[in-house]
Amino acid sequence: MILELFLQQVLNGLTLGGVYSLVALGLTLVYGILHVPNFAHGAFYMAGAYSAFFIMTKLGLNYWWGMLGAGVVVALISVLAERLVFHPLRKAPYLHHMIASIGILLFLEAGAQAIWGADFHRMDTPYTQLLEFGGLTLPAQRLLIIGAAFLLVALLQLFLKKTITGATIVAMAQNREGAALVGIDATRVAMLTFAIAGALAGVAAVLYAPINLVYTSMGNLVITKAFVIIVLGGMGSVPGAIAGGLIIGFAEAFGAFYISTDYKDIIAFALLVLILSVRPQGLFAKGAH
């Protein structure tokens, strides 16, 4: 019985960790390219959930179309934000980036509230079955989250490592001037990165929404935790975002079970405060920021 409870928490940790990793990956990619901490990323996540909700309830399409639609819509919003806001600000001080991204965040949240109201919505999923497996109850949606998250992470890794387009993103993250010198189009790479980041956030939201709920401020906690993750994992580091996502996911799942459900949301932040107090440069970061 103890072991089963333990395994149940492992499952919860993987679920949370998968969602957090997807969101944190987008955030860290954008940071790597532009050195912009994009506070609007949580609003992108929220926009993804609402897009899918709209597609499923108003257009009557199924869950998978909703997920695809959310990915496309949020990728578009994300690219638009890059073109209209972050590109003009690329030479401005860091404070301006942050305030501008907060402006986008506030706009998207208020926009969603204006259209859909402040109510909480439930998102239906075709995967409501409970799978029994040797005394373990495995909700199908959670297995879907875990499977999809790991598949996406693996695909992203292949894309970054094995394709030329992916390599341009890595090159630009490593050295902007160097990348420009060998003929990489910075504008194209920036747009591509924002599109990927947005799509990941949108898909993550649609995966997680059926077991959470859809509401306008649903992105706030997730984005704050994603920030914790990329600070822990090293800003701009892809493996760091995945590892950090899993660490926070597990810390929350086990913390909620063994310490207190009430304070489970504090765990991530307490961890960050603790780690940054001892190591101001983050867990995996090399050198100074």
Partner 1 sequence: MKFMNATTGWSLLLLLALAFPFLAGNDYHLTVMSTAYIYAIATIGLNLITGYTGQYNLAHSGFMAVGAYTVGILTVDHQVPFWIAFFLAGVIAAAIGFFVGLVSLRLKTHFFSIFTLCVGYIMYLLIEKWESLTHGTVGIIGIPAPPNIGSIDFTEPRPQYYLVLFFLVASLWIMHRIVRSLLGRTFMAIRNGDDLAQALGINLMRNKLLAFMLSVFFAGLAGGLYAGFVRFIGPGVASVEHTFDMTMYMLIGGIGTLLGPLLGAIGVPWLTQYLQVLQDFRFVVFGPLLVILVIFLPYGIVGTWMNRKRRKEALAAQSAAPAARDINTLAAAKGATHA
Site residues (CB under 8 A) for partner 1? 37, 84-85, 88-89, 92, 94-100, 102-111, 113-114, 220-221, 224, 227-228, 231, 262-263, 265-266, 268-270, 272-273, 276-277, 280, 289
- Toward partner 1, which CB reaches closer, 204 or 272? 272
Strand partners, 139: 130
- Toward partner 1, which CB reaches closer, 13 or 109? 109
Please report how close the Cβ of residue 256 comes to partner 1 at its closest, in angstroms. 13
Please report how close the Cβ of residue 18 comes to partner 1 at its closest, in angstroms. 22
Cα–Cα distance list, 162 to 63, 103, 182, 184, 198 (Å): 31, 36, 18, 17, 21
Please report how close the Cβ of residue 91 comes to partner 1 at its closest, in angstroms. 11
The span from the CA of 161 to the CA of 154, in Å, is: 11
Please report how close the Cβ of residue 137 comes to partner 1 at its closest, in angstroms. 28
The span from the CA of 202 to the CA of 222, in Å, is: 12
- Toward partner 1, which CB reaches closer, 47 or 145? 47
- Toward partner 1, which CB reaches closer, 67 or 252? 252
Please report how close the Cβ of residue 145 comes to partner 1 at its closest, in angstroms. 24
- Toward partner 1, which CB reaches closer, 108 or 123? 108
Please report how close the Cβ of residue 288 comes to partner 1 at its closest, in angstroms. 9
The span from the CA of 240 to the CA of 29, in Å, is: 11
Please report how close the Cβ of residue 28 comes to partner 1 at its closest, in angstroms. 13
The span from the CA of 230 to the CA of 234, in Å, is: 6
Burial class (CB in 10 A: 0-12, 13-18, 19+), 10: middle
Instruction: Identify the CA nearest to 244 among candidates 284, 193, 204, 288.
Output: 284
Instruction: Identify the CA nearest to 198 among candidates 285, 95, 107, 73.
Output: 73
- Toward partner 1, which CB reaches closer, 64 or 107? 107
Please report how close the Cβ of residue 196 comes to partner 1 at its closest, in angstroms. 21
Q: Which residues contact 54 (CB under 8 A, 6 or more apart)?
A: none
- Toward partner 1, which CB reaches closer, 170 or 266? 266
- Toward partner 1, which CB reaches closer, 90 or 188? 90
